[in-house]
Structures are given as C-alpha cells and as structure tokens.
Structure 1
Amino acid sequence: MEYEKIIPCINAEGEVPGNVIKLAEQYSYGGADELLLYHYAKDERSREEFLSLVKKLADKIDLPYIIGMYVKRLEDVKKAFYTGASSVLIKYSALDEKTVLKEAIDRFGSDKIIVELDRKECMDADISKSDGNALLASLKAAGVGKILLKHVELSPHTIEMLEASPIEFIIRDSLVRNDIVCLMKISKVTGIATNFFENKDIMKVKLALKENGIPVNTFESKIPFSEFKLDADGLLPVIVQDYKSEEVLMLAYMNEEAYNKTIAGGKMTYYSRSRQALWLKGETSGHYQYVKELIIDCDKDTILAKVQQIGPACHTGNPSCFFTELVKKEYHNYDPIHVFQEVYDRIADRRKNPREGSYTNYLFDKGIDKILKKCGEEATEITIAAKNPGTEELRYEIADYLYHLMVLMAERGLDWSDITNELAHRK
C-alpha cells in the first residue's frame, strides 16, 4: 500500500549543528516518514559544512532524508548522495544550467531527484490541456518524477491544476492557512513537507489523518489482542530486543491497554505488576523505547519487541538488564556481522595499543601507501583464485582481503557501521 508521507523540514542555514541533529533525532523517533534537510548557500565552504553536518546526522537517525542544496554541477548532486540521502531536492529557479537536472536524472534515476518549484512558476496552467502547463510538461519529458511545490494557496483552480498534473507533488506548507487533510486528499499529493510538527506528536497527527481517510503509515496489529494467550493475571510477557544489535534488553509485561497504547503511540508501554499500573518506558528517565517491530510467538503467549532504545534499558544504568553471568562455556560466534566486528575491534585495538611483532602494527607503521598496496595485491590474489577450480583458495584470499580492508578502514577512521549504513541506504 502506498502511504502519504509526513516530511518535517529542517533549515540548517545559520543553525547550530547540534540543534539540527537533536531536532532530526526527535523527528526520527517521533514517527516522521522522511526528513527534508536544506541549506541553499552558494559558497563552496558553506555547502561543504552542510554536507559534513548531514554525514554526522546520518549516523544518528534511522530515517530516509532528502537533501535540498544549491546545485551548480552534477558533482554537487553526487556529494549529496554520498551522505546517504534518499533523494536530492534541486531548486529549479536556482539552476544556472538546466542541463544539470537531466544529467542528474539520467545518472541517479527519476525517483531520486525532486524538483522544487514555487507556486507562481506553475500555477498559470491551462488546465483544459491534459498535460498541464508547458513547464510541467517539459519537466515530465525530462524525466522528473516528483515536484516539491511551495507557497500553495488552496482553491478550486489549484486543486484542479494539481489533479491534472502529469507529475506527483510533495507540498511544502507551514499549515497555517491550509488544512493538511484537504492537501493530502488531493490524489497527486504524496506527502507534506513542513516545519509545523516541531515539538508535536506526529503519531497523534497520523491517527487523526487516518480517521479522515488519509492512508498514512501507522502501527496496526495484524492479530487482535483477544487472540493472545494471557497468564492468570491477564498479562503477556514481552521480550525486548535492540533492533540493530539484537541484544536482549529486558523482560516486561503488557495488558491489553498497554498493548493498544504501544500500537497507537509507537513507544513501548507496559503494565507494572508491582505498581498495578501502566508504565510508559522512559517517561521518567527519558530512556524511551521506540517500536520497530512486534512479533508474537507460535503459541501466541509471548511478544518479541524490537526497539530503538534511547539510553540504557536497565534501571541500574546497564545497557541491558541481562548482565549477571551464571554459567558459561567458551564458544565461537559464527554470526558474520559479529565476526567482522570482532576482527575489526582487534585491529582497532592494535592501532590504539601497539604490540611488538604485530603484523597489523607493521602495516599501520608503514602507513596508508603500504596498506593500499596490500589491498591491491590481495584483490589480485582473489582474481587469480577465482579462476582456479575449487573454492578453498578463493575463500582464503577473500578472508585475507577483508582483513587488509579492515586495516584500511581503521586507518581512515571508518568502522562497519559506516559501511552497513551506506549499504542500507542503497536498498
């Protein structure tokens, strides 16, 4: 199902970077579907500082984001995508060379490039024509798939023009004069970009939109609570797990009211057996748990909650409530991500705490050129091994290459989260 999006806007120009990141985090936790981050300064230094800020922000949020910036050449669009952006917003009126737009669409795809227009640029349409006005028709011909339209004033003419457009719209609006329900009921409107939702509960807004027949992305249980098997007190145990690391964080209980509040608000709410009352996790400490996924087990008597944990989960200050070891037998963890991280951590530790005779420290001591040379050599070894029968040699050479690649990552200050985040953005 296609959902209409709530897209909060953040103007980074002149803002303290820490405030931008904090606001983006709030939107990410609070139910936004996407973010629009923009800074239209033309000087190179300001643009580079903005892109650097976005890169830092990308590590803090789990939300697709659109970057709006001054684009002079295709290289500017590339740099925006290098931050992990899902789309790049190009202000049409600020384009010195209109050919850059076509180049960007050809290079990255029509779904990745959004064109920003002011209402005055495309509201003089002859709506009796099936293709709308000349500008919209030319943008459609150039491959533009979506327009962000500013300064809209709702009227029958505006609605008719939008409905007749060959291109879909995101409406950027302060929501002071225009009603969000009216805007989102226009079939060619796929989302609202606004700064209206700062310090507001977006999930509540979405529920209100849903009641008005707007298809928005909210949590909705696929199985009614009445089908769950509860204990004698009418409760259901909930195992809570970090959605990224998959570390088990805690065990708690829910009754039907707690479950419904969790679904409606997107924050984990439990029932306290000792206090005999509902308990919104983090309400006092600020250590909220934001819902990513709820899964019921085969017997329908236990829920697995995958969450984004803010701060520690345990009241003791530990990340997890499970930290007291009872018995243990040494074993190898063969999970690929765990192995990669373990090897990387060992390499990073060698860099920080050199050990005499260590090959890893030898590479660090020789510097980047030696590390790059070894990466190149190992890549060649992989090519040779791949041409030979069997896979044993190939497996060995790939492992060698990955080791040297991790040395390079540590040398340049990258870790596996940087790489996995980049890959995740490419889905």
Structure 2
Amino acid sequence: MDNDMICKKIIPCLDLNNAVEMAKYYNDAGADEIAYFDSKATKDGREPNVAIIRQICDSVDIPLIACGGVRELEDVKKLLYAGASKVCMKSAALNTPELVTEASDRFGSERIICTIDLSECDDPVGYARKLKTLGAGELLLLHNNMVPEYLDIVKSIRENVALPVIVSTYSTNGEAVAEMLNETNAESISLYNLQKMDIMEIKQHCREANIDVDLFESSMPFEAFKLNSDGLIPCVTQHYKTGEVLMVAYMNKESYEKTIRTGRMTYWSRSRNELWTKGDTSGHYQFVKSLTIDCDKDTILAKVSQIGAACHTGSRTCFFTDLVRKEYNDTNPMKVFEEVYNTIRDRKDQPGDDSYTNYLFGKGIDKILKKVGEGATEIVIAAKNPDSEDIKYEISDFLYHLMCLMVERGISWKDITEELADRR
C-alpha cells in the first residue's frame, strides 16, 4: 500500500459479541485501525474488559482504539498496557476533565481521544477547544443522524480547533462514506455496523472521489512482467508470518489487477479458463500482505494471511507429499516458544490433570514468582560454572517458569517481541 501520502483512515467499530472474529477479519480486509466500544462497561459501571482488548491485540497487526468504561487513570493504563494504541473517553472527560490532562501527560496526547456527542453538546466548538487545552490529541464526533447541521458543526470544529477529527456514520455505502470525508475533511471515519463490510470497496469509492486512502498500488504495470507462452505469470503464495509456502498458481493481467483492487488473491484457472478468487467457494480467502516480483520479473511472490486451508484437499498447504527427504533440524526458536506458551495456557484454561503446570497455577502467583526468582538465581550460579550444560538447563527451566508467569498475567510473546522491536 502507498504510505508516502497522508491517507484518510477507515475505522470499523467492533461488536461486543464477536469482537475477536471481526477484528481478525478487518485486520486482513483493509481497515486502517479498528475501534472496540465496551458498552457493557459504560452501562454497568464495571471496569473495562482488558482481557478482550488483549485478545484482539494478539490477533491483529493494525492499531486498536479502546472505548468505554474509562473512569480513572488506572483504566487508561490497563487498556494501553493490554495493547490498545489509543484510548477514547467520553463521560470521563465530561465528569473528570483533569483525567484528560493526567492521561495525556502520562502517556502522550497522541494516545488520548475524546468524544463529543454532537446531539447532546450545546457548544461543541467551545468544548473541542477545552478538550485540546486539557491535552486531548484527537476528537471523535458522534451524532444521531447525518444532517446538514452535523456537517456544519464538524467543519466548524475542523476550522477552529487544530486537532485530528474522527467522524462517524452508520452507513456502509462507499459513496456516502466518501461524501462525508469530502464534506468534513476529517482525518478518519468510524463505521458503526454489525455486518462484515467490504473495506476495500469503500476505499475504492473514496479514491474515485479523489480522497487519499491507503490502497494497494503496483509499483510497475503488468506489461512489465515476463509472461509464459500462455500469457501468464506464476505466483508462489506464502504465509506472511510463518514463511510457509502454501500454493503455486498463475495470474493474468485481469486477475493481477483484481488482486490489487480487492486485496484478495485472485488467480487465473487454467483448467476452467476463468478468474478464480481463492476462497469464493470455500471461504478460505487469502488476504494480501505483499506482492513481490523476482529479479527476472517472471515470478511473483505473494505473502498472505490465509483463512482456513490453502489446499483443495483440506490441507493447510498444497506441499505435503514428500518425494525425497534428508533428516535435518528445522527447529524454529520462536515457534518453540509459541508452542510451549500455548501448552501452558491450555493447561491453565483447562485444568484437571496432576501436571506440574497445573500445580503451579493452583498454588497461585506467589508460587510462580518464587520459582522465577529461584530460576534467576540458579542462572547466576550456573554462569560461574565452566560447564555450559548447566547454564543451558537453568535458562530453559527459567524460561518455562517465566512463561507460566506470562500466562498468569496475560502477557504473550507477541507483546514481548513488539516491545523489543520498539527498542531497536
């Protein structure tokens, strides 16, 4: 996607009932950010559901805005530490204005969004100015219906208050979304709808209205590729995270351009002599993460997010039949960490046996912390021993107990690797 320009953002709002599933879908389907509104926390007066925020963030690559249930600084901290990129507050900003300043000073104004309900606020422009003074970094403007007065108010806030604005709509019509972005000149638009929306189609309407949105654009025309005698180019399709080769198929100009336009892998079926969007029949879509051409410009490498199985046989990948094989060690360190972590988490979620892991979780956090502390001490002692086997064993033991602690406190390897990546 073209990231050189400042693009308008399309932000779907997630439903409470199937938030993780919808988050995964929109992560692949072209959303720029997603928003999760915890209406139960707002209505019932309970704390924000940090666990669901963590689940969503573990499932997606795009930023998450956490909305609802914020009443004090600790709520903001918990949501951000759970993985949310930004926290949005409405009633808290009205009832405790100093909280906006405290949160902004602590975590940065760019992470604090304040909501203005234009159907309730008597002086939205004045209130927007106040929120900016308090430290808000962005404004979310809510409304009941799209009426001319709403557009006028939004434009007035845009002209008089120098803060990024998110407008909102219940419409899923691409032309209506484009019209609102054009009329308001807002930086982002939040879409409130419980059905799965075709974000790429909405973005296409925006682009046709000369609105800069983040869409796939090929760096070279299809005519620059070297095709085979049938006018096709082979495409090797690979999982974008694991690097696993999923399948090989062919593309012509029409399928390539549809892939670019929709963000879903579309091939040319040589047997049926027709376009073939992977997943239209099975639901096992391949959402594009990147397309790369090789040095000879005669083969495409597609990195995708694969839904379900890639192979028509039901196998995860089409490459499952060994022809020849030499034994080798293909251990992937990160995969091992993930597998052990998932086993530990499964033991915690489904206790019932007499395993050591269940024993630890049964004893609680203090026992786990004691084992982590003992493990760290054993590493120090082993490091003084010239026998490297001892330190290898102690580090492994320590990492196991550390993962028990991570599971107990809801920390994933994704959280850790992202934090380390930010420090590079």
Q: Given the two structures, how large is their TM-score scaled by the length of structure 2? A: 0.81
Q: Is the 8 A contact 2:42 2:69 kept in 1?
A: no
> Does residue 373 in structure 1 map to residue 367 in structure 2?
no
Q: Displacement of 1:82 after TM fit?
A: 3.9
Q: Displacement of 1:94 after TM fit?
A: 6.1
Alignment partner, residue 291 of structure 1: 288
Alignment partner, residue 243 of structure 2: 246
Distance of 2:76 and 2:336 partners within structure 1? 35
**Of 133, 137, 142, the match for 2:129:** 137
> Does residue 269 in structure 1 map to residue 266 in structure 2?
yes
Distance of 2:300 and 2:265 partners within structure 1? 12
Q: Is the 8 A contact 2:48 2:69 kept in 1?
A: no
Q: How do residues 56-135 of structure 1 correspond to structure 2 at under 5 angstroms?
A: 56-92=55-91, 95-119=94-118, 124=123, 134-135=126-127
Q: Given the two structures, how large is their TM-score scaled by the length of structure 1? A: 0.80
Distance of 1:60 and 1:288 partners within structure 2? 17
Quickly say closer, same or farther: Cα 1:105–1:237, change in 2 above 3 A. same
Alignment partner, residue 183 of structure 1: 180
CA RMSD of aligned residues (A): 4.0
Q: Mind listing any 5+ residue stretches in structure 1 that lack a counterpart?
A: 126-132
Q: Is the 8 A contact 1:114 1:147 kept in 2?
A: yes
Alignment partner, residue 165 of structure 1: 161
3-state secondary structure, aligned to 1:104: helix
Quickly say closer, same or farther: Cα 1:332–1:406, change in 2 above 3 A. farther
Alignment partner, residue 315 of structure 1: 312
Distance of 2:353 and 2:155 partners within structure 1? 70
Letter in 2 for 1:146: E
Letter in 1 for 2:207: K
> Does residue 32 in structure 1 map to residue 36 in structure 2?
no
Q: Is the 8 A contact 1:239 1:303 kept in 2?
A: yes
Q: Displacement of 1:47 after TM fit?
A: 4.1
Alignment partner, residue 130 of structure 1: none
Q: Mind listing any 5+ residue stretches in structure 2 that lack a counterpart?
A: none
Q: How do residues 255-404 of structure 1 correspond to structure 2 at under 5 angstroms?
A: 255-333=252-330, 335-341=332-338, 369-380=366-377, 396=392, 398-404=395-401
Q: Displacement of 1:121 after TM fit?
A: 7.0
3-state secondary structure, aligned to 1:189: coil
Farther-moved stretch of structure 1 (377-386 vs 256-265): 377-386
Quickly say closer, same or farther: Cα 1:394–1:71, change in 2 above 3 A. farther
Alignment partner, residue 195 of structure 1: 192
Q: Is the 8 A contact 1:123 1:158 kept in 2?
A: no
Q: Displacement of 1:70 after TM fit?
A: 2.5
> Does residue 225 in structure 1 map to residue 209 in structure 2?
no
Q: Displacement of 1:26 after TM fit?
A: 3.8
Letter in 2 for 1:90: M
Quickly say closer, same or farther: Cα 1:366–1:224, change in 2 above 3 A. same
Farther-moved stretch of structure 1 (191-200 vs 310-319): 191-200
Letter in 2 for 1:63: I
Distance of 2:31 and 2:84 partners within structure 1? 16
3-state secondary structure, aligned to 2:131: helix
3-state secondary structure, aligned to 1:307: strand
Farther-moved stretch of structure 1 (286-295 vs 153-162): 153-162
